[in-house]
Structure 1
Amino acid sequence: MLAENPSIVVGPMVTNPGTRDWTVIASLFATLDEMYGPRTICGMGRGDSALRYINDKPTTLATMSEAMRVIKDLVAGKTVSYNGKDLVIPWAEGWDLPMWGAGYGPKALTLVGEQCDGFILQLADPYLVEWTTKFVKDAARKAGRDPDAVKICVAAPAYVGDDLPHQRDQVRWFGGMVGNHVADLVARYGSDESMIPKALTEYIKAREGYDYSHHGQVGNPSTDFVPDEVVDRFCVLGPISEHMRRMEELRDLGVDQFAIYLMHDAQEATLDAYGAEVILALQ
């Protein structure tokens, strides 16, 4: 992909510090930057689904923070202390690897604002985009950073079409996926709306567990609790005109990038519609 397109930028959305060694992640990005120039971004999270699937727990935010620092420094050609040893990638030419952090809760959003080059939010609800983005920007400002330098990426399913009930059923899995993160936040913060907006927590009251073997799949039986209203808010559905309206709305909220999740039965048609109409209209 990098070889065929000289302007594209790539990266995971997201990797984590628990299932891959930090030095392997750093070596991967240093290699790609060595081969194709600095056209990579490292999206980082705590490893919710990846670690829970193997019966482990997500890493702590402190571990996520340290991993981002070590990986970024290694790609930059700096010496780091890792696992009790000083390490350096001797051939790394000093690339500045952008680190983008994902999260929903106050502590994760604060970490992103204090340390990350970008923020990844997995949902397209304008109200929640505005709330989380403000949290990140405020944290950056308090840390003495330029809040406008922190890029904002919204990632969510998009499905172009006219059969709204069918579209909803195809992407209902996404509300269940987000619900796992929300359940963790509710367990920690309860119903304190100053910490977590009701718009994010209300819908998981009917949630009854989650089977990670169906994670991210259409027809996931663990996501039947997700109502249509939440699907409509979290995802981008309907005809092309609605997609353009939602993209303009997100842009007005300061979103720099929209990443499409194409796990449904109209992948090519949706991607073609964005390439032919949505992207051109927003340029």
Structure 2
Amino acid sequence: MALRVDLRVPSCRPIPGVVDFVRQCEDAGLNGVGLLDSQLLVRDIFVTMGMVAHQTRRIKIMTCVTNPVTRHPAILASAIASIAEMAPGRVELILGSGYSAVRTIGLTPATVAQMRDAVLAIRRLLQGETVKFNGVSSHLAFPPQHPIPIYVAAVNPRVIELAAEVADGVLLQVGMSPGILATARRHIEEGARRADRAPADVKVAVCLRVAVAKDVRAALEESRSVCANWVLEKHRSRWLKAAGIPIPEFAEFPPEVRAIYPDLSHPEDPVAARKATAFLSEEMLRAICDALGVVGPEKHLFQRLKEAEEWGVSHVYLMTPATYELPREVLAAFKHNPSRGVGRDHAPSGETSS
């Protein structure tokens, strides 16, 4: 089976332009697109998903990611079931704890317990079962005809284990190296064990941070603020240590970093974010980029995808550093390399990929 390759597509432009971009992704052979759910930063995810579903025929469409804090589980179940009516067999729900979506409105990310409750409630609703919310028993009047896979996006080891225990799959947002993958797989095995489930039954996607450019140094600088975030946040830096990268300790975020809106992973002003993270040496920047994904020319991207397959990865999710720009360079790479072996073994049930 060919490697499944999905691409993060933030709805950072007027919706018709985003839809056209996704159609180009489909034509280029990409298997799926993930749409960001972060109110205020990008267009509404479900409005965009509906338009994408209507205008495409093969490509998978995912929430990547939504969360149970800004959207109640019942609302998520209703929304994703509605989208599935327009794209049966092509829709997937990826839940996270909330990041920029909760930060921009002063809320707190979902706890592990909240994530567990959300996954279980949404699955039951999608299966037509009754769920009790605040003492009120409710059900979804239009459960989907095709199962909708539920993934959990995870950095924290406890969340990886939760995904393996209760979800259909996990999106590992931990980077990719032999050490990282071995550590993550141990947590998947632990979560699956709790549910008396075979680890092989847990669908696993690996997120790769990518910056495609002929100028490697420019690609590194584009990735700087994201990489710095991985150094500063302890639940992320543990994965860099698993890759063998020595990480400096910071007692607290530097004040110039705290001033970046809304955060280092989604900076509205990337120039200011790069200046605020100038403390990261080029040597460390290169090492982190190698651990998290790939930077540089198109050939580097496809070498990394080949490496992923060699390391037993069957599904990757490509994510560029930019939230407010469409990933045109990544799309161009697939347009320039149409025979890279992706996209043809993952047609939805009942459809062909011809």
TM-score bracket for the superposition, by shorter chain length: 0.7 to 0.9
Q: 1:129-144, aligned counterparts within 5 Å?
A: 129-144=181-196
Secondary structure in structure 2 of the residue aligned to 1:157: strand
Q: CA deviation at 1:93?
A: 3.9
Q: Which amino acid aligns with 1:247?
A: L
Contact 1:43/1:99 (<8 A) preserved: yes
Higher relative contact order (CA 8 A, sep 6+): 2
Q: CA deviation at 1:146?
A: 2.4
Q: Which amino acid aligns with 1:166?
A: A
Q: CA deviation at 1:125?
A: 2.8
Q: Deviations over 1:1-40 (max 9, x none)?
A: 2223222111111111111122111111111112321321
Q: CA deviation at 1:266?
A: 8.6
C-alpha distance in 1 between matches for 2:317 and 2:297: 18
After superposing the two structures, state which structure 1 stretch, 44-53 or 203-212, moved more: 203-212
Which residue is equivalent to 2:60? 9
C-alpha distance in 2 between matches for 1:6 and 1:85: 38
Say whether residues 1:268 and 2:328 are aligned partners.
yes
Secondary structure in structure 2 of the residue aligned to 1:281: coil
Q: CA deviation at 1:123?
A: 4.4
C-alpha distance in 2 between matches for 1:94 and 1:204: 51
Say whether residues 1:282 and 2:333 are aligned partners.
no
Which residue is equivalent to 1:74? 125
Which residue is equivalent to 1:252? 310
Q: TM-score, normalised by structure 2?
A: 0.69
After superposing the two structures, state which structure 1 stretch, 75-84 or 127-136, moved more: 127-136
Q: 1:99 to 1:204 in 2, by over 3 A?
A: farther
Which residue is equivalent to 1:213? 262
Q: CA deviation at 1:197?
A: 6.7
Q: Deviations over 1:89-139 (max 9, x none)?
A: 112245422111122222112111111211112243323233213321342
Contact 1:79/1:87 (<8 A) preserved: yes
Q: Deviations over 1:190-237 (max 9, x none)?
A: xxx8xx672478536246254442442333255444431212321311
Q: In proportion to residue count, which structure has more helix?
A: 1
Which residue is equivalent to 1:232? 290
Q: Which amino acid aligns with 2:221?
A: D
Q: CA deviation at 1:143?
A: 2.4
Q: Which runs of 4+ in 1 moved over 6 A?
A: none
Which residue is equivalent to 2:160? 109
Out of 168, 176, 198, the position equivalent to 2:241 is: 198
After superposing the two structures, state which structure 1 stretch, 117-126 or 167-176, moved more: 117-126
C-alpha distance in 2 between matches for 1:225 and 1:16: 32
Contact 2:211/2:321 (<8 A) preserved: no
Secondary structure in structure 2 of the residue aligned to 1:216: coil
Q: 1:154-169, aligned counterparts within 5 Å?
A: 154-169=206-221
Q: Which amino acid aligns with 1:151?
A: K
Q: TM-score, normalised by structure 1?
A: 0.84
C-alpha distance in 1 between matches for 2:327 and 2:142: 40
C-alpha distance in 2 between matches for 1:95 and 1:45: 23
Equivalent pairs counted in the alignment come to 273
Q: 1:134 to 1:268 in 2, by over 3 A?
A: same
Contact 1:151/1:255 (<8 A) preserved: no
Say whether residues 1:63 and 2:122 are aligned partners.
no
Q: Deviations over 1:160-215 (max 9, x none)?
A: 233111101112222244456x42578xxxxxx8xx67247853624625444244
Q: 1:18-37, aligned counterparts within 5 Å?
A: 18-37=69-88
Contact 2:240/2:291 (<8 A) preserved: no
Contact 2:172/2:205 (<8 A) preserved: yes
Consecutive unaligned residues of structure 1, counting only runs of 5 or more, are 187-192
C-alpha distance in 2 between matches for 1:223 and 1:53: 21
After superposing the two structures, state which structure 1 stretch, 19-28 or 196-205, moved more: 196-205
Q: CA deviation at 1:53?
A: 2.8
Contact 2:207/2:317 (<8 A) preserved: yes
Percent sequence identity over matched residues? Answer: 24
